């Protein structure tokens, strides 16, 4: 008997004769109730809690200037980007490396990476990447130490359930999701919280209100 047969037989025997429970209607919130302004304010509050630097812009045209400024503020120079990043986002004069199947060691040497995102969750201060347009592969936002992420106001949802509902098509298309809520952390040593273990230690969010 294969493992599969053995397990399914054991499970079926364990359940034999017991009627399935009636489905209970769920009462948890599936959507939020805040206004768009409140959602945005909540998102900014949460990011501040994580010590993530946020710049709020009125339009996408201001992105390159902000990127240049944030790179300078962090003392970073070289920038990695996904191949399908909107070209208007990249500042002049910054050495840029496009990630086209770069070996991991190369990516590891790039201090900064600039991408867009799939959406953001206000309640938890979460950025979600779904390997979609302008986001690149997962290794791109994992190996560099500094991640600049552009978020449009229309991409910010209030709650986790709303985010998952919006992400479902990407999942059905087989794309991987990465939820980032602040920088990595550990409290394994005496419960003393240390920020920045693996993954980017510095996060910059560029929020565009357009």
Partner 1 sequence: MSGFPERARRSLGDSQLRRNLAKATATIRAKTGKVSAELPDWEALRDAGRAIKRETLAELDKHLVALEDSVTRAGGVVHWAADAAEARAIITGLVQAHGAKQVIKIKSMTTDEVELNPALEAAGVRPFETDLADMIVQMAHEKPSHLLVPAIHKNRAEIGALFREEMDEPDLSNEPADLTRAARAYLRGKFIESEVAISGANFAVAETGSVAVVESEGNGRMCLTLPKVLISIMGIEKVLPKWEHLEVFLQLLPRAATGERMNPYTSIWTGTRAREGDAADGPEAFHLVLLDNGRSKILADAAARETLHCIRCSRCLNVCPVYQRTGGHAYDSMYQGPIGAIVTPQLKGLAAAGDLPYASSLCGACQEACPVRIPIPEILVHLRGRVVAEGHAGAGERAAMAAAKAMFDHPTLMGAALAAGRVMQAPLARDGRIGRLPWPLDGWSLSRDFPALPPESFRDWWKRRKAKA
Is 37 a binder of partner 1 (CB under 8 A)?
Answer: no
CB-based contacts of 11, cutoff 8 Å, min separation 6: none
Q: What's the min distance (Å) between Cβ of 194 and partner 1?
A: 4
Q: What's the min distance (Å) between Cβ of 49 and partner 1?
A: 9
Q: Considering only residues 39, 120, 142, 148, which one is a binding residue for partner 1 as defined by CB under 8 A?
A: 142
Q: What six digits make up the tokens of 126? A: 């979460």
Q: Do residues 90 and 60 touch, judged by C-beta distance below 8 A?
A: no
Is 20 a binder of partner 1 (CB under 8 A)?
Answer: yes
Residues 97-126 that bind partner 1 (CB under 8 A): 99-101, 104-105, 108, 121, 123-126
Task: CB nearer to partner 1: give 68 or 201.
Answer: 201
Is 199 a binder of partner 1 (CB under 8 A)?
Answer: yes
Q: Considering only residues 74, 153, 164, 166, which one is a binding residue for partner 1 as defined by CB under 8 A?
A: 164
- Torsion angle defined by CA atoms of residues 91, 147, 115 and 32, in that order, rounded to the nearest 10 degrees: -130
SS3 73: helix
Q: What six digits make up the tokens of 160? A: 């986790």
Q: Considering only residues 47, 62, 176, 204, which one is a binding residue for partner 1 as defined by CB under 8 A?
A: 176
Residue-wise burial string across 41-65, b where 16 or more C-beta atoms lie within 10 A, e elsewhere:
ebbbebbeebebeebebeebeebbe
Alpha-carbon span 19 to 15, nearest angstrom: 8
Q: Considering only residues 53, 55, 97, 184, which one is a binding residue for partner 1 as defined by CB under 8 A?
A: 184
Is 41 a binder of partner 1 (CB under 8 A)?
Answer: no
Is 202 a binder of partner 1 (CB under 8 A)?
Answer: no
Q: Considering only residues 37, 58, 92, 192, which one is a binding residue for partner 1 as defined by CB under 8 A?
A: 192
């Amino acid at each position: 008997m294969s493992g599969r047969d053995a397990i399914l037989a054991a499970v079926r025997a364990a359940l034999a004769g017991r009627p399935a429970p009636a489905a209970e209607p769920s009462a948890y919130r599936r959507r939020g109730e805040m206004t768009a302004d409140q959602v945005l304010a909540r998102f900014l509050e949460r990011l501040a809690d994580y010590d993530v630097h946020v710049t709020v812009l009125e339009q996408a045209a201001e992105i390159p200037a902000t990127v240049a400024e944030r790179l300078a503020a962090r003392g970073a120079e070289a920038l990695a980007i996904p191949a399908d990043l909107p070209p208007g986002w990249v500042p002049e004069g910054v050495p840029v490396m496009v990630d086209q199947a770069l070996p991991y060691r190369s990516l590891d040497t790039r201090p900064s990476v600039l991408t867009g995102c799939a959406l953001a969750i206000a309640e938890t201060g979460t950025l979600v990447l779904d390997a979609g347009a302008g986001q690149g592969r997962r290794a791109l936002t994992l190996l560099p130490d500094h991640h600049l992420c552009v978020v449009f106001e229309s991409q910010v949802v209030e709650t986790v359930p709303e985010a998952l509902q919006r992400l479902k098509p990407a999942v059905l298309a087989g794309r991987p999701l990465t939820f980032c809520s602040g920088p990595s952390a550990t409290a394994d040593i005496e419960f003393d919280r240390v920020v920045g273990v693996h993954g980017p230690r510095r996060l910059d969010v560029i929020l565009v209100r357009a």
